[in-house]
Chains A and B, each alone.
Chain A
Amino acid sequence: MSNDGVIALAWNRIRLLKESPVGMVGAFLVLFWIFVAIFAPLIAPYDPNANNMDALIDPTPSAVNWLGADNSGRDILSRIIWGSRTVLIVAPIAVICAYIIGCLLGLMAGYYRGWVDQVINRIADILLSFPAIVLYIIVIMKLGPSAINVIMAVIFVATPQITRIVRGMTLELRERDYVAAAKMRGETALYIMLVEILPNARGPLIVDACLRLGYTTIAIGVLGFLGLGLPPPDPDWGGMVKETYAMMTIYPHMSLFPAAAITSLVVGFSLLADGMREISLRD
C-alpha cells in the first residue's frame, strides 16, 4: 500500500516537471545523453579506437569526420558517443553507492545521536577538511586508475557530504509525532530510520542527487584530464581533453567538443535539479 503511494508521488513529480520549463530543458539534455549512451553502437559512425591515417593529415571537421579527428586520427564524434557510456555508468553507480552509505551513516548519526553521532561526524569532518581534488588524487594514486577506483574516489568525497545532509534532516524528522507513535508500537530502530524517516527526506535528497550527478560528471572529467581516469585507449571525455589540449591553438576542436559534451550533461543535471526544486517548493 505504501509503495503505491511512493510510486504515485514519483509519477506526480514527473508530471509536474512539465510545468517547469527549466526542468524540461534539463530533462531533455540528460535524456539525450542517456539515449546516446544506450544506442552508442548504432549511432557511432566509426570504431572509437580506430586510427584513420587520412584524418591524421587533416583532422579538422569534414564530411567524413563530422566533429573532426584527434591527434591519433580517431573520430571525435564516435569517441564522444562511446565516452558518454563511461560517464553515465560511472557517475550514477558512484552517486548511488555514496547515497546508500551516506544515508545509513546520516540516519544513524541523527537518530542515535550521542557517541555514534560524534564518531560519524568526526570522520566526516576529517574527510571534508581535504579539498575534494586532493582526496581524489590520493585515492586514485593509491588504488590505481580504473573505473572502479574512480567510483571509490567519488564515494570518498560525496559520502561525508550526504551524511551531513541526511543527519540534519534526521535530527528534525526524528522529533515528529509519527516517530514517537512508531516507537510506542514497538518498531525497531532500523524500521524507524528506513521506513518512517528516510522516505520523508526524499524531496531535498532527490534535488541533491541530481546536482551531485552533475558534480560527479565534472569530477570524472577532471580525473580523466589528470590522467587518473580510465586507462587508454577507451574513450573518456576528460581524457580526450587531456590528450589534445596541447594542440589547443592549432586544432581547438579536438578539446572543445568533448569539453562541450561534459558541460551539456552537467548543465542538464543542474537544470533538472532546479526544476525538481521548483516543483517541491510549489507543492
Chain B
Amino acid sequence: MSTNAATLDRPSDQAPGARKPILELRNVSISYFVRAGELKVVPDISLTLYEGEALGLVGESGCGKSTVAFAIMKYLGGAGRLTGGQILFEGRDMTKMSDEELRKIRGGRMAMVYQDPMSSLNPVIPIGKQLMEVPIIHSGVGTAEAEKRAVQMLREVNLPDPESMMTRYPHQLSGGQQQRVVIAMALMAEPSLLVMDEPTTGLDVTVEAAVLDLVAQLRKKHNSAIVFISHNLGTVVRICDRIGVMYAGELVEEGPIGEVFRDPRHPYTRGLLNCIPTLNADKRSRPLSAIPGQVPPILNRPKGCIFAPRCPDAAGERCTAAAIPTTIYGESGHHRVKCVRVRELAKHARPETGVVADGEAAVTHEDLLTLVGLKKTYRQSIGMFGGEGYDVHAVDDIDLAARQSETLAIVGESGCGKSTLAKVLTGIELATGGQVLLAGKEIGRTAIENRDSATKRAVQMVFQNPDSTLNPSHSVGYVMERALAKLTGVGGRKAKDAVLNLLKTVNLPLEFANRMPRQLSGGQKQRVAIARALAGEPDLILADEPVSALDVSVQAAIINLLVDIQKKRGSTLLFISHDLSVVRYLADHVAVMYLGQVMEFGNVTDVFAPPYHPYTEALMSAVPIADPDVKQRRIILEGNIPSPQNRPAGCPFATRCPRKVGAICDDTPPPVQISDAGHRIACHIPIAELATATQVVF
C-alpha cells in the first residue's frame, strides 16, 4: 500500500464543552427589500459557535445559507437588511457597531472565503502584495515583516516555491492554487472566525480533497472557528464538528455531525440524505428518493412548518396550525430539531450499503456504439499566419464500446477530454483519427449538417447547463413540436398529442407546453431538455453532466427519470460526469479518462473494486462521502492536471501518480492489461499487484 494512503480521521463527535462562544446569533431575522415588497429570507435564526469549532451549514440553493454568512460579516449589500436580533461576536453586538469598528473586525478578527477565488483576488496586483496588505492594515507591521509573514503563510497552505509565488499574478495560478491563496489571505490576520462560502464548489474532486485537508489541518493549527457553507453534505462531514440544516431560511435541524447523521430527526434532513447517491450503492441495490416539489417562494410564509407541503411525514393540522418550536433532542442536549413530530418518527432507516445485488447482469446486449482508436487533435496556431503551432490531443486513441440498452459512464476531471468526446459523437466536432461506429456505421467524420436523418434521429444529447439548454425565446411546446417535426416528421394535431406524451414521459404537468423557459426551475428545464432529446426515440442518448448544476433533491429525480426511460425504451445512455457517486449509481460500464486517454474501463462493479488504476483509486478516495461512519482511505494527489499540450511522453498520470514505479512511467506509455471479465487497466504495475489493494471505501 502506498505511503500516502492513510485512514481518514474525522472531526470529533464530542459536543462542545464549556468553551467560550465566539459567535452568537440571537433570533436574527434578515429581509431583502425588493420591488415586490419585503422578502423575509431568514425569519428567525439562533446559533452559537464556540472557540475553534467548525459548523457546517447545508441546504439546497436559495435556502438562505449565504445570506446568513453575509449577515455574520454584517455585509448584506444594498437590498438586504437585518430586521431584528443580535449578532454577538466575541461578546460584542455587531449590530450596534460603527462602520469603522466593523472594518477593523472584517479581515482581521473575522475573514471570509468565497466560492470563486478569482473574484476575491485582484487580477492586476501580485499575490504577495495582496497578502502583505492584510498585516500592514490590520496589525500595522512594516513591509519587511509583512513579507515574511506572507511567505510563511503561502508555505503553510502548501503552495510550491512560496518566494516566487509572491511575485505572480492570480491568473498565473490554477483554480486550486488560487483558492489556497485566498485561504492564506483569510488566515493572515489570525482570525478567530473564518466564514467559508462553498470554498471548494468550483474545484475538481482531487483538488477539492486537497483543499479540504488543508482547511482541516490549518483549523487545528490556528484554532479558528469556522462557519462552513456547502450544498455538499460530504464536504461538511470532512471538515465540521457540527452541522446545521437550513430550509427556506430556517434552521430545521442542528447538532453534532455524528448525532445528526446517525439519527436525523427532521424529515428534510432525512430527505436530503436519501437523495444522495453514495459510492457503495447502485441502481439495482436501492432507488434514490427525491424530495417532491421545490423550495417554495418566500413572499408569504405559512404560519406553521414551511416544509409541510413537501414533507412525507406531515401530520395535517399539527404541522400547519402554529409556529413550530425548536425541540432539544437526545442525550447530548445539543441536537436541536424544528419539527413537531421529532419524538414520534421512527429511527431513520439508512440506505443499505456495501451489498450490491448482481441480478440483471445475465443478459448480454449487442454493442451499439464502438469507438476504435478515436482521436481528436486541435491545432493551436502561434503567430499571425498560423504557420507554426502545436497540437493539443484532446482525445487520444480511445477504444470503447457501449452496449444496447446499457449505460456507459465516462468519468474524469475537467480537461480530461470527456466533453470533446461527446462533441465528436454528436458531429459538432469531427474526429481527426480512428472510427466512431454506430451500429456498424462510421459517423465520426461526418459533420452534423451532413449526417442523414436516420443518424440525426438516432443520436441525441442532453446538455449540462439548464440555463443554456433551452432557447429563452421559445415556449416548451414549440421546442418539442419542432423537435418532433424535424426528427420524426410528425406535425399538426398529432404533434400536439406527441408533445403531451413527451411531457408525461418526463413527469411534467401538461400545461407546461405553454410555459417559457424563464418560468421553469433548473430541474424542470432539464426535464424539458430530456423530453426534447427523446422526441425522435433515439438509440443513443449522450448526457454531458446533465445533473451537475442541479440541487441534490432535483438531481435524484432526474437520475431516476433517466434510469426509468432507459428501462422502458431500451435506449443506450452515454453518461458523462465528474461525480463518481452518480456514476456508481447509474452506470453499467465505466471508463475513467485522464488527459484524453482511457485509464480504466470495465463493468461498474469491477471498476469500483480492486484492482484499481492508481488514478481511479485516488479519485474514489477524494469523493466526499456524506456519512461519518463510512471509512475511506485517503490518497492525496500532488500538483495539478498537466495541460494537454505538454502531456508526459509516457503515462499521462505519471506526474501525479502516488504509485509511480520509476522512469518507465515517464518514458513509456503504459500497457493496457485486460482481465478475463474485460476489465482494462492502463498501468505499468501488473494487474495482480494492483489487485492486492484494499477497498477505498469501506
Residues of A at under 8 Å CB distance from B?
1-2, 4-6, 9, 19, 176-178, 180-187, 189, 195-196, 199-200
Contact = CB atoms under 8 A, between A and B. Distances in A.
A200 B472 contact: yes
Nearest to B423: A180
A195 B472 CA distance: 11
A217 to B, nearest CB: 30
Interface string B452-468: 01001001110111001
A183 B475 contact: no
Interface string B479-515: 0011100110000000000000000000000000110
Contact of B461 (A4, A184, A196): A184
Contacts of B536: 185
Interface residues of B, number: 38
A181 B469 CA distance: 8
B477 interface: yes
Nearest to B482: A185
- By Cβ-Cβ distance, the 6 closest A-B pairs, closest first, are A199-B473, A177-B463, A178-B471, A185-B486, A1-B478, A177-B469
Contacts of B529: 181
B449 interface: yes
B674 interface: no
A199 B472 CA distance: 9
A184 B475 contact: no
29 contacts: A1-B477, A1-B478, A2-B475, A2-B478, A5-B475, A19-B35, A177-B463, A177-B464, A178-B469, A178-B471, A181-B469, A181-B533, A183-B428, A183-B448, A183-B449, A184-B426, A184-B427, A184-B459, A185-B456, A185-B486, A185-B535, A185-B536, A186-B451, A186-B456, A189-B449, A199-B471, A199-B473, A200-B471, A200-B473
A186 B486 contact: yes
B465 A2 contact: no
A5 B460 contact: no
B303 interface: no
Given A1-B477, A180-B461, 5 more contacts: A1-B514, A181-B463, A184-B461, A185-B535, A189-B449
A196 B461 CA distance: 17
B220 interface: no
Contacts of B460: 184-185
A180 B475 contact: no
B448 A6 contact: no
Contacts of A187: 482, 486
Interface SS majority for chain A: helix
A39 B463 CA distance: 55
Nearest to B514: A1
Contacts of B284: none
A19 B35 CA distance: 10
A184 B472 contact: no
Given A177-B463, A180-B426, A185 B468 contact: no
B473 A177 contact: no
A180 B14 CA distance: 53
A6 B474 CA distance: 8
Contacts of B474: 2, 5, 195
Contacts of B478: 1-2
A183 B426 CA distance: 10
Nearest to B487: A185
Contacts of A180: 426, 428, 461, 463
B428 A186 contact: no
Nearest to A8: B516
Interface in B511-535: 513-514, 516, 529, 532-533, 535
Contacts of B35: 19
A183 B535 CA distance: 15
Nearest to A177: B463
B470 interface: yes
A5 B532 contact: no
Contacts of B533: 181
A64 to B, nearest CB: 52
Contacts of A184: 426-428, 448, 456, 459-461
A186 B426 CA distance: 12
Contacts of A4: 475
Contacts of A1: 475, 477-478, 481, 513-514
B532 A181 contact: yes
Interface string B436-453: 000000000000110101
Contacts of B481: 1
B584 to A, nearest CB: 26
A133 B533 CA distance: 53
Contacts of A2: 473-475, 478
Contacts of B469: 177-178, 181
A177 B465 contact: yes
B104 to A, nearest CB: 35
Nearest to B452: A186
A255 B376 CA distance: 69
A2 to B, nearest CB: 5
Contact of B453 (A182, A183, A186): A186
A167 B448 CA distance: 23
Contacts of B477: 1
A185 B533 CA distance: 9
Contacts of A5: 473-475, 516
Contacts of A185: 456, 460, 482-483, 486-487, 535-536
Contacts of B465: 177
Contacts of A19: 35
A199 B478 CA distance: 14
Interface string B535-556: 1100000000000000000000
Contacts of B459: 184
A199 B473 CA distance: 6
Nearest to A201: B473
Contacts of B456: 184-186
A193 B585 CA distance: 40
B385 to A, nearest CB: 13
Contacts of A199: 471, 473
Nearest to B544: A177
A178 B468 CA distance: 6
A178, A196, A199: residue with the most chain B Cβ atoms closer than 10 Å: A178
B461 A6 contact: no
Interface string B135-150: 0000000000000000
B500 to A, nearest CB: 14
A159 B123 CA distance: 37
Contacts of B461: 180-181, 184
A6 B533 CA distance: 24
A199 B517 CA distance: 14
A230 B630 CA distance: 85
Contacts of A178: 468-471
A179 to B, nearest CB: 8
A174 B536 CA distance: 23
Nearest to B456: A186
A195 B471 CA distance: 10
A19 B34 CA distance: 14
A182 B470 CA distance: 10
A280 to B, nearest CB: 13
